[in-house]
Amino acid sequence: MNIIEPNKLHPGDTIAVIAPCGCIDIEKIYQAKKYFENFGYKVKLGSNVEKQERYLAGTDIERLEDLHNAFSDKEVNAIICARGGYGAIRLINKIDYNLIRNNPKIFCGFSDVTALSMMILKHAGLITYSAPMAQSDFAADEVDEFTKNSFFNTMTSENFEIRPENILIYKSGEAQGILFGGNLSTTASLCGVDFVPEEKFIFFAEDLNEPAYKIDRYFTQLLNMENFRKNLGAILLGDFLDVDNPQYLDEFFKELAQKLEIPIIAGYPFTHDTSKTTVPIGAGVILKDGIIIKV
């Protein structure tokens, strides 16, 4: 795959905020808009962000329109999703990936947005970012310092590294490949469509409010896919917040480490919590001593 890295973010650039998933709180979006404007960026809101269709931020057509318009708008340098929730998977077969490939730019989000990031990487070849979102993170009264620094460092600098906070090694080792992953349950929901990279990849995962048996199910479902299993070089684990039985989950990862001849390491700041790292999905990296370094 010919992977495209978008241009870095510079002061004065324009950021588009769109809502491709769940319906939003417009006051929080205005708060996030002001946050970025205080840093010297211009902010455009998608024309449909205030729409609501049941639990979605407008109809599929409206949410897709904002996604396409943000990529085609020559003034826009970066796109930040408002929030996750649900709705991204309804768009993946309707997206014009040629439009995205021909207009590469920063695209950010996590949780449900993982579906868009994975499909954009696979079908447009564009590096996207598992990153904080407008309503979820940048509308806070005080934006988390680690989250802010990781976001702006990754968006403005050519180099990055990601370190585990409290490392837990299920299986040690080194690996090289592209970073691929995000929210685990959203990733598993893509089974049945073409989303797995052809290159060797290092898979990172996190989740929220999922019981241990479902996390087992999601990993098993992914590993049942030949391309996924064949190209998997390592598994990096973030937070699995509010899991019902941490002991069962720990036992599952130990079992996985015995089956797979690849590094499996936990303790990374991939999370739904307030303090999260920004991860470039599709960037080439080396995993050594538990540290992820850009190639």
Render pLDDT for 225-242 as a digit per residue (tens, 0 to 9): 999 999 999 999 999 999
132 pLDDT band, cuts 50/70/90, is: very high
> Which helix (H) or strand (E) is 32 found in, with range?
helix 26-38
The residue from 130, 136, 206, 210 that is catalytic is 206
Give me the pLDDT at residue 183, please: 98
Reported as a single tens digit per residue, the pLDDT across 36-70 is 999 999 999 999 999 999 999 999 999 999 999 99
Active site residue 206: yes
Burial class from Cβ neighbours inside 10 Å (0-12, 13-18, 19+) for residue 27 reads exposed
Give me the pLDDT at residue 186, please: 98
CATH architecture entry for 14-156: 3-Layer(aba) Sandwich (3.40)
88 pLDDT band, cuts 50/70/90, is: very high
Domain 161-294 has CATH 3.30.565.10: no
Reported as a single tens digit per residue, the pLDDT across 169-193 is 999 999 999 999 999 999 999 999 9
Name the β-bridge partners of 181.
204
Give me the pLDDT at residue 48, please: 97
The whole-angstrom separation of Cα 212 and Cα 199 is 29
Give me the pLDDT at residue 278, please: 98
- Ordered by start, the domain boundaries in the chain are 14-156, 161-294
Q: Among the listed ranges 45-49, 138-142, 245-249, 272-276, which one has the minimum average pLDDT value? A: 138-142
Give me the pLDDT at residue 146, please: 97
The token duo for 224 is 């049942």
Does residue 12 have a pLDDT over 90? yes
Give me the pLDDT at residue 234, please: 98
In this prediction, residues 214-224 reach a mean pLDDT of 98
Give me the pLDDT at residue 117, please: 98
Name 45's Cβ contacts closer than 8 Å, sequence gap at least 6: 16, 17, 18, 29, 33
Give me the pLDDT at residue 38, please: 96
Active site residue 272: yes
Reported as a single tens digit per residue, the pLDDT across 145-159 is 999 999 999 999 988
The residue from 62, 111, 117, 185 that is catalytic is 111
218 pLDDT band, cuts 50/70/90, is: very high
- The answer to whether the 14-156 and 161-294 domains have the same CATH topology is no
> How high is the mean pLDDT of the chain?
97
